[in-house]
Amino acid sequence: MKLKSTILLVALFITAVTIAQNTITGTISDPLKTPLPYANIILYEVGEEKAITGVISNEIGAYLFENIANGTYVIEASVLGFETKKSDEFQLPQSELIVNFTLNEETQNLDEVVVKSRRPQIKQTAEKLIVDLENSDMVNTNLQDVVKKVPGIIMTNGNVSYAGQGNIRILINGKTTDYMDTASLLRDLPADNISKVELIQQPGSEYDAEGSGPILNIILKNNVKLGTHGNVKQMVGYENRFEYATSASVASYKNKLNWQLSAGYRKSTSRDDLTLSRKVLDETYKQTSKSAFDPIIANLGAGVDYYLTDKHSIGINGRMVNSDSDRVSNNNTTISSTSSDITLLTDNSFDRNRSIYTVNPYYEFKDDKNKLVLDYNFVDYSYDNENNLYQVGTSTLPFNNRRYFQDASYKINTYKIDFKRTVNENFSWNAGTKFSDVKSDSDLQSLTEDDEGVFQFLPAESNRFLVDETILAFYSKMNIKVDKWTFSGGLRWEESDTQGTATTTDETRTRKISKLFPSASVSRKITNEISANLAYSYRIQRPSYSSLNSFVYFYDPFTFEEGNPNLKPAFTNSYQFNLTYDNQPFFNINYRETADQLFEIINQNDASAETSRTMINLAENKNWSFSFFAPLDFIENIDGYVGVQANHNEYTSENLEPMLDLSKWSFTGFAGAEYELPWEINSEVSTYYTSGGLEGIIEYDWLAGIDIVFSKSFLDDKLKVSLELEELIQRPFNGVVKYDNVDATVVSNWARNNVFLQLNYNFGSKFGKNNKRENSSKDEQNRIKQDN
């Protein structure tokens, strides 16, 4: 009897266990019944916060749960780019339980919740000015147009300045861009890809300490929809001569594997004209140079991202950019005295070929509270340049034709780790490290033509200069909110070790710098609308690699540029105070003080009548700026802003003979306004006026500019046609130099009254992003000279 009871109990137990081990199956698909592989399927027991188990759907979107005990459950399904969905509650046991999911893409509801406006949202914090373009109706066609939306930014001839400072670094997603020059970047990056523009006036410790001026950080849009989408752009324009450009990009975002391809070709036209009039003893030299050039730029990019799980991802992307610029300058030098006039005509041909290759693999971990990024970046620059300066026609002034070969290569390896921890909405901290290794090789070969027409090598004027530099950095930063106060504080330590070797003299110069770079900011809400912000940063500006090379390059027979291997880095203390109204910029004060300021000086040799430009270290530079901003909302149907800046620059050096002491106030007014014309045509006007200022040792006169853009969309906003009128005011750069024996006037002009017609066609996902991760940390590339 006992044995029978035992057998019966065992049988009942086995039956109960068998009944309790349930199986759940199902499929995951989109509304078109397309299977969604690699979806996350999580099983929750009702009343319990933690997940019981989880699986991933297979290649045909199917999933399976086995050996599930009896109970009440709910299933959650999610996949990247689709809405997360939960099932109704169900009870086990059940026979052959099937739970299928149909997931809608996240973008299907975007048109219902996104409210478009013409005006971008502008926000000021203690550290930066933010222009949010995410929900604005974009009139603009490229990054250059977008940058003009930043209050206080002035654009002249492709150069960017703010509050009297031209040393602005441009980043994309916090990383230095790999474009060959700023003008190409401003022209080629489509505006539709841009989410925000940040003018970082006081960079925190998470940014490289490199630089003395503001940082312009371009943040690209995030991807919000899976699928394949792309963009085709065609531009034709007139900028001194006709030019054109075409580009295309395509991206596919499907579950775990994402890929992107982009290509572009641009044939530009431009012009730089320079007139220099100067006194040399009893004679007057008038040097006129008219320089037209047609650079051709081709680029190709590709990237792959793979999501190991919803928290872990890896990827690699690369980019190739090639630039071929053939420039010919026509030089006319007239030497006048009381008794005669002598004219020397020369041409200066400059064939410059540049190429850059970048490769950037990375790993990223991200959850609700933590983010870890590991990446490596390799950059290979190469320059292949030939410069010929030769006489045309006849002249009584003797001149030997010159030839220069200027080749350079730069190889940069960068390793970086960044970690951010969000403890709660009131406290977060981040830390990281970076190591970069830069090797540059600049080779200048100088030749002069003899009486028999043969070019002879000049060892005394030639030089090969090698630079080997490593930079190691560690940083940490914390962000705290307490009631009406917000505090941010960071510390960055950098150690750089630089060796420069001139092979002609076999002389090696070594420089090692180990420094702490603190940064901090504090904000306080005074009323519901008004806030006060105070920020500080300490930074370093290292000389460019090419400026360290003791090369000599002639622009015309009497004007040349030379390097300076004795250059030291400059260090800047920067302070900023601002008031905001409803987080909008209202009033701003900024003060910068730089020791050993890098400064371009102009010298004149009266015996040879030659003038030279070279970079030196000044004793000190002080800069004050005061800014006022106001919106234009009070004008009906107008969106935009208006502002005024007062800026004071002062340069002093007791090391020069004679002593240099320059100072000047300048005043700048600026405005940007958007207005919708009939037939849904959007228009925008950007304008500025500045009373003048200091460009190094040159004191320049007033400048002004007006740009106008018209834009209209067709085909359900897939096709955008834009017409841009640029540089409508005929006002060149007029400056004077009066220092030591230099008494000169400078007139610089460039292409004006430019017209650009651009067609942008987007296909596939309307809300797709450019998911290209910019090369990890190429801040050293900024120090490679990038003149066109």
pLDDT at position 362:
93
The pLDDT mean for the chain works out to 84
In this structure, the number of other CB atoms found within 10 A of the CB of residue 50 comes to 6
pLDDT at position 9:
44
Give the list of residues 6+ apart from residue 455 with CB closer than 8 angstroms, or none: 401, 403, 447, 448, 449
* Residue 136: band (very low, low, confident or very high) from pLDDT cuts 50, 70, 90: low
Whether pLDDT at 387 is above 80: yes
Q: Is residue 110 domain-resident?
A: no
Residue of higher predicted confidence among 121 and 439: 439
Which residue, among 758, 767, 747, 641, has the nearest Cα to 703 in the 3D structure? 747
pTM reported for the whole predicted model? 0.78
**Are residues 159 and 42 both part of a single domain?**
no
Q: Is residue 113 domain-resident?
A: no
Considering its fold, how many domains does the chain have in total? 2
**Boundary-marking domain end, from 47, 79, 104:** 104
Alpha-carbon distances of 284 from 279, 334, 340, 343, 698, rounded to whole Å: 5, 8, 11, 12, 19
**Boundary-marking domain end, from 104, 136, 156:** 104
For 412, half-sphere exposure in the C-beta direction (CA atoms, 13 angstrom radius) is: 28
Cβ 687 vs Cβ 726: under 8 Å: no
Give the list of residues 6+ apart from residue 12 with CB closer than 8 angstroms, or none: none
Whether pLDDT at 140 is above 70: no
**Are residues 135 and 185 both part of a single domain?**
yes
Q: How far apart are CA 557 and CA 332, in angstroms?
A: 10
**Are residues 83 and 160 both part of a single domain?**
no
Q: Is 775 left (phi over 0), alpha (psi -120 to 50) or beta?
A: beta
pLDDT at position 428:
94
Mean pLDDT, residues 685-708 taken together: 91
Which phi and psi (to 5°) does residue 680 adopt? 55, 35
**CATH number, domain containing residue 703:** 2.40.170.20
pLDDT at position 730:
86
Determine how β-strand 22-29 pairs with β-strand 681-690: unpaired
Query: Over pLDDT 90: what percentage of the chain?
Result: 37
State the residue range of the domain holding 435: 121-783
Q: How far apart are CA 677 and CA 719, in angstroms?
A: 18
Alpha-carbon distances of 169 from 244, 319, 711, rounded to whole Å: 27, 20, 29
- How many Å is the Cα radius of gyration of the chain? 31
**Boundary-marking domain end, from 45, 76, 104:** 104
**Are residues 45 and 173 both part of a single domain?**
no
**Are residues 634 and 752 both part of a single domain?**
yes
Query: Over pLDDT 70: what percentage of the chain?
Result: 87
Q: Provide the residue type at 628 as one letter.
A: F
Residue of higher predicted confidence among 295 and 118: 295
pLDDT digits over 401-428, tens only?
999 898 889 999 999 999 999 998 899 9
**Are residues 183 and 66 both part of a single domain?**
no
**Which residue reads 């006007």 in tokens?**
685
pLDDT at position 251:
84
pLDDT at position 8:
42
**Are residues 563 and 644 both part of a single domain?**
yes
* Residue 12: band (very low, low, confident or very high) from pLDDT cuts 50, 70, 90: very low
pLDDT digits over 525-556, tens only?
999 889 999 999 999 988 887 788 777 777 78
pLDDT digits over 743-754, tens only?
999 999 988 899
Q: Which residues, in sequence order, are bridge partners of residue 716? A: none
pLDDT digits over 191-221, tens only?
666 778 888 888 989 888 888 788 888 887 6
Q: How far apart are CA 266 and CA 247, in angstroms?
A: 8
**CATH number, domain containing residue 57:** 2.60.40.10
Q: Is residue 761 domain-resident?
A: yes
What is the SS3 string spanning 464-487? EEEEEEEEEEEEEEEEEEECCEEE
* Residue 765: band (very low, low, confident or very high) from pLDDT cuts 50, 70, 90: low
Which phi and psi (to 5°) does residue 7 adopt? -60, -40
**Are residues 330 and 417 both part of a single domain?**
yes
Q: Is residue 559 domain-resident?
A: yes
Q: Is residue 9 domain-resident?
A: yes
Q: How far apart are CA 173 and CA 323, in angstroms?
A: 24
Cβ-count burial of 587 within 10 angstroms (0-12 exposed, 13-18 middle, 19+ buried)? middle
pLDDT at position 786:
45
Whether pLDDT at 691 is above 90: yes
**Are residues 56 and 180 both part of a single domain?**
no
**Are residues 193 and 56 both part of a single domain?**
no
Residue of higher predicted confidence among 640 and 714: 714
Determine how β-strand 681-690 pairs with β-strand 660-677: antiparallel
Q: Is residue 111 domain-resident?
A: no
**Are residues 239 and 190 both part of a single domain?**
yes
How many residues does the structure list for the chain? Answer: 788
Q: Is residue 109 domain-resident?
A: no
Q: Is residue 116 domain-resident?
A: no
**Are residues 89 and 130 both part of a single domain?**
no
